[in-house]
């Protein structure tokens, strides 16, 4: 490793114990690398007087510098924010993003995957969709596996397939964080509102909801679960039903902010106050949570960090062709923000 022309990006990456794309980012003065790793890589670049081999680079397949992103619902603030952050980070790294909405249709999702693959996208990111389903249909799985042979796929769901990377939020931990906070404030009756049984993210929340209440010896009859999708109207309708009961839970945990908006409308129509009469918390924590009156206590991801991991995972996959592991999973921790929508009984 003493001669400059024999040093490759893979040599530097191996000695620094990082990915080749991270070496490339440091060499090209790109963001997204911690100070310690950057200093380690820079010292090796200087030590070996490393310079990229332009001839070797020219032998690689033609680069389009394009990433395709398929979104199940761009009207959902969660997906809209992640898409926005992905576009910003991709642009900083010299990539363009082409995004398409599926309206939560697996058939449309597969059509867009095929189209993006044919257009030589260097990677495809799936935001929502069937990759997060508990049971994935054969046609969808076959489509993903075929495309992934040539184009890395990154999903926020979970698929165990070669060249498919899973970047997910810790839904179970997020649910437990919410419940332990509420229990600590003296709440003993809970209403989990929204979601769909086919998705893993919902199943993780429900499992942890049940487990945490059991761990804290809270009787089952003190908790309610209503699976009603992710829309405002369903949240409104189901919340009204609960409030018509003689005794209702002291706190509502909404699956997302859209469902929370519907629930809050129902609460206010019954002339109840938040949080003095009933508390409301939700998942996602976008600008909506802090725009409500009162501002909502919420748990959600660090959107910028989540988008960074999606884009950099895509770039790592592009630059490490043939080095993939099946079902690689990276978990992003959630952020819990306490605001004004929860009553304390202590």
pLDDT of residue 321: 57
For 162-218, write each residue's pLDDT tens digit: 889 999 999 999 999 999 999 999 999 999 999 999 999 999 999 999 999 999 999
CA distance 154 to 278: 40
Superfamily, domain 171-301: Response regulator (3.40.50.2300)
Q: What is the pTM of this model?
A: 0.80
Mark residue 208 as left, alpha or beta (left: phi above 0; alpha: psi -120 to 50; beta: remaining): alpha
pLDDT of residue 62: 62
Q: At what angle do helices 35-47 and 9-16 cross, to 10 degrees?
A: 130
Tens-binned pLDDT, residue by residue, of the chain (346 aa): 444 456 788 888 889 888 877 888 888 777 778 888 888 998 898 888 777 665 445 445 567 889 999 999 999 999 999 999 999 999 999 999 999 999 999 999 999 999 999 988 999 999 999 999 999 999 999 999 999 988 999 999 988 888 899 999 999 999 999 999 999 999 999 999 999 999 999 999 999 999 999 999 999 888 999 999 999 999 999 999 999 998 999 999 999 999 999 999 999 999 999 999 999 999 999 999 999 999 999 999 899 999 999 999 999 888 765 544 555 788 998 999 999 999 999 8
CA distance 145 to 201: 22
Same fold, 4-58 and 171-301: no
pLDDT of residue 200: 93
Task: With CA atoms as reference, report the closest residue to 108 among 77, 132, 130.
Answer: 130
pLDDT of residue 271: 96
| Lookup result for tokens 């919340």 | 239
For 47-86, write each residue's pLDDT tens digit: 887 776 654 454 455 678 899 999 999 999 999 999 999 9
Looking at domain 4-58, its CATH architecture is Orthogonal Bundle (1.10)
| Lookup result for tokens 């990111």 | 125
For strand 153-155 and strand 123-127, is the pairing parallel, antiparallel, or unpaired? parallel
CA distance 17 to 189: 49
CA distance 286 to 296: 10
Q: Delimit the domains of the chain by residue range.
A: 4-58, 64-168+302-332, 171-301
Listed in sequence order, the residues at least 6 apart from 75 whose beta carbon sits closer than 8 Å to its beta carbon are none
Q: Where does 64-168+302-332 sit in CATH, by number?
A: 3.40.50.2300
pLDDT of residue 327: 54
Listing DSSP states for 116-174 in one string gives: HHHTT-SEEEEESSGGGBSS--HHHHHHHHHHHTTS-EEESS----TTEEEEEE-HHHH
């Amino acid at each position: 490793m003493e001669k400059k022309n024999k040093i490759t990006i893979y040599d530097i990456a191996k000695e620094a114990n990082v990915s080749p794309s991270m070496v490339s980012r440091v060499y090209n003065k790109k963001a997204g690398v911690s100070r310690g790793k950057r200093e380690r890589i820079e010292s090796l670049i200087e030590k070996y007087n490393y310079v990229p081999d332009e001839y070797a680079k020219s032998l690689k397949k033609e680069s389009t510098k394009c990433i395709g992103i398929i979104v199940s619902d761009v009207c959902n603030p969660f997906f809209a924010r992640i898409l926005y952050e992905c576009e910003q980070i991709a642009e900083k790294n010299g990539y363009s993003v082409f995004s398409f909405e599926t309206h939560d249709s697996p058939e449309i999702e597969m059509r867009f995957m095929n189209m993006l693959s044919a257009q030589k996208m260097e990677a495809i990111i799936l935001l929502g969709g069937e990759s997060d389903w508990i049971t994935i249909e054969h046609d969808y799985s076959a489509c993903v596996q075929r495309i992934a042979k040539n184009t890395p796929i990154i999903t926020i769901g979970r698929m165990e397939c070669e060249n498919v990377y899973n970047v997910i939020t810790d839904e179970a931990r997020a649910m437990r964080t919410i419940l332990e906070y509420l229990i600590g404030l003296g709440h003993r009756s809970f209403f989990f509102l929204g979601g769909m049984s086919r998705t893993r993210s919902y199943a993780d929340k429900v499992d942890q909801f049940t487990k945490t209440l059991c761990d804290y010896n809270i009787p089952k009859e003190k908790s309610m679960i209503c699976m009603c999708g992710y829309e405002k109207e369903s949240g409104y309708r189901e919340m009204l039903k609960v409030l018509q009961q003689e005794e209702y839970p002291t706190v509502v945990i909404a699956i997302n902010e859209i469902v929370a908006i519907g629930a809050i409308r129902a609460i206010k129509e019954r002339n109840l106050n938040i949080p003095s009469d009933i508390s409301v918390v939700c998942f996602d924590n976008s600008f909506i949570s802090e725009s409500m009156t009162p501002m909502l206590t919420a748990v959600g991801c660090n959107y910028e960090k989540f988008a960074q991991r999606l884009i950099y995972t895509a770039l790592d996959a592009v630059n490490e062709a043939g080095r993939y592991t099946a079902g690689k999973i990276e978990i992003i921790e959630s952020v819990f923000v306490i605001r004004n929508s929860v009553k304390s009984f202590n």
